[in-house]
Amino acid sequence: MPPVVRFAPSPTGYIHIGNIRTALLNWCVAKRDGGRFILRYDDTDRERSREEYATAIAIDLAWLGMTPDLAVRQSQRMALYDAAAAKLRAAGLLYPCYESEDELERRRRRQMARGLPPVYDRAALRLTAEQKAAFEAEGRRRHWRFLLDHRNVSWEDGVRGHAHVDTASLSDPVLIRADGGYLYTLPSVVDDIDLGVTHIIRGEDHVTNTAVQIEIFEALGGAVPAFAHHNLLTTASGEGLSKRSGALSIGSLREAGFEPMAVASLAVLTGTAEAVRPVASLAALAGLVDLSRISRAPARFDPAEIETLNARLLHETPYAEVAARLEALGVGGGEAFWLAVRSNVVRLADAKTWWDVVTGPVQADAGDGDFLARAAALLPPEPWTEGTWSTWTDAVKAETGAKGKALFMPLRRALTGLDHGPELKTLLPLIGRARALARLGA
């Protein structure tokens, strides 16, 4: 059966490289096996969810080449959650509680002081109808908890192998807040059932949630999906990534000029058994994804690696794939120019720097005027090819006796204004004889 997966971001900030790792792993598994990729906006947090973030998420996914087969918003699916909550209440699995947060915190502290785990003691289950009525008369608003089975819940995790959690070690989770709003857990399960999600691939910070959600799946009569919990990306110093900080957001990486496949390659391959390298397409990247080969240890993400991967990717990119973008940057010269300079670019915009070197003007280094004048007199007539540089420098060497760095560096500095750059055998024909003569005479 083709897999149905979902990426479920909350539109409460700009998604970062860690979020997109989850999206990409889901996309790769789905598309490799002919499945479907669903984008679900978890926007039940009305205060923090913003349309600008939802729009940014769609833009980020499109930039990386991930177009969802279906996009839904939890804020538009409340009737489904209400029906599920009613079903759980009717089954006696969703019960009202009246404790304030302060009361719960004091209770947790007392339990910890006695050496007990700070697990909710289910006091609300012992309330009489009169006590509940009294609380409501006081103006207390009830929240609703799911009654866990207190059993060992196990599953075969696609990354971690056999996994299990004893739900007796957990507090009955609050599914509905006192203000009537739903927390993440219930809407997520209801959507997964309704949308036919077969595989849930997400970060390992959700492992404990999985046991709770399996019990809710079963209570609602839904098929339990397969689960896989991948390791999380951290900063180079080991800190977690946060949408609120804006660090390493996909938008900022795009604005910095990085290629989408450099970002995708690093996000997916970091922390796996595969060598981190530039991959040319999402289809090729999907062929490398094996959830069982993802490390259990946190994966440290070094932003400097994007620079390296981006450069390596561009160095292998054919002209046809960047022609339109080069034209938009005001870069001419066609394929000959791109092949001449691509090994010297880190970002595509760097090509404009080299086009400016070709077309001038440049801050030429006058150097030894006599040497340059003699070199200028030996410039071959056009048309020029890649062999012109060798022909010319051989003649200059014979005429002046200069060789090695003493021969090549003054010519490079005069022609480009720099002491580094693309091979001059490819750059010289692009500069042309008229510009070369002018620069040698500068």
Q: d(Cα 419, Cα 357) in Å, to the nearest integer?
A: 12
Question: What's the number of CA atoms in the CB half-sphere (13 Å) around residue 362?
Answer: 28
Q: d(Cα 147, Cα 195) in Å, to the nearest integer?
A: 25
Strands 152-157 and 161-166: antiparallel
Q: Check: CB of residue 322 under 8 Å from CB of residue 280.
A: no
Q: d(Cα 131, Cα 129) in Å, to the nearest integer?
A: 6
Grouping H, G, I as helix, E, B as strand and the rest as coil, residue 390 is helix
Q: Check: CB of residue 250 under 8 Å from CB of residue 20.
A: yes
Q: d(Cα 123, Cα 137) in Å, to the nearest integer?
A: 19
DSSP 114-157: TT-------GGGG--HHHHHHHHHTTPPPEEEE----SEEEEEE
Helix 350-359, helix 334-341: angle, nearest 10: 110
Q: d(Cα 284, Cα 261) in Å, to the nearest integer?
A: 10
Neighbours of 213 (CB within 10 A): 24
Task: Give the sign of the dihedral formed by CA 387, CA 389, CA 390, CA 392.
Answer: positive
Question: What's the number of CA atoms in the CB half-sphere (13 Å) around residue 90?
Answer: 8
Q: How far is CA 61 from CA 99, 192, 283, in A?
A: 42, 21, 15
Numbered residues of the known binding site for ATP: 243
Numbered residues of the known binding site: 243
Q: Check: CB of residue 87 under 8 Å from CB of residue 217.
A: no
Q: d(Cα 32, Cα 286) in Å, to the nearest integer?
A: 6
